[in-house]
Amino acid sequence: MSSSSLSDLVAERDRPGPVHHKGPGPAANGWLDPRGREHGGRAFALHRLTGLVLVFYLYLHLAVLSLLLVGSSSWSSFLGIVTAKGFLAFEVVLILTLIFHGLNGIRVALVGSGVMVSHERAIFWAGMTIGAVAIAGTALHVFGAL
């Protein structure tokens, strides 16, 4: 599929008969990823990257929680590190990662289910707008301004 042009993919989508691919097929708006799939290439790459970062964070989180087994003094010194201003910036980036993955994931799930396929770009930018407001509010809150 990777070498197929947009017109080949659209012809495949429009052909009557058995469906040879999952999902609604290539978007008529031409928003294809590098493998010819129906969503934006950069959004796809970022979705994968943020998904992997979140999996990494999940394990890191479990490892950090195991400090509780060591005792209250190790937990207190850990809290001293993570509540420093520099470290809080990492937390904002982590929340940004989650917000992007979650909101873009809603778009992927909708479009993959054949819902509002022709409004894919609008859903994406609506999600990113909501995400931008959410991350701005989060950053202000984390740094104590809100």
Residues near ligand HEM (CB under 6 A):
47-48, 51-52, 54-55, 58, 101-102, 105-106, 108-109
Nearer to ligand HEM, 101 or 139 (CB): 101
Q: Are the C-beta atoms of residues 41 and 50 closer than 8 Å to each other?
A: no
- List Cβ<8 Å contacts ≥24 apart for 19-28: 22/112, 23/111, 23/112, 23/114, 24/111, 24/112, 24/114, 24/117, 27/111, 27/117, 27/118, 27/120, 28/118
Task: Work out how close the CB of 53 gets to ligand HEM at its nearest, in angstroms, rounded to a whole number.
Answer: 8
Residue 62 CB coordination number (10 Å)? 9
Task: Work out how close the CB of 119 gets to ligand HEM at its nearest, in angstroms, rounded to a whole number.
Answer: 17
Q: Which residue is nearest to ligand HEM (CB)?
A: 105
Nearer to ligand HEM, 53 or 75 (CB): 53
Task: Work out how close the CB of 124 gets to ligand HEM at its nearest, in angstroms, rounded to a whole number.
Answer: 13
Nearer to ligand HEM, 109 or 130 (CB): 109
Task: Work out how close the CB of 48 gets to ligand HEM at its nearest, in angstroms, rounded to a whole number.
Answer: 3
- 10 Å CB burial of residue 120 (0-12, 13-18, 19+) is buried
Q: What is the CA radius of gyration of the chain?
A: 21
Nearer to ligand HEM, 97 or 139 (CB): 97
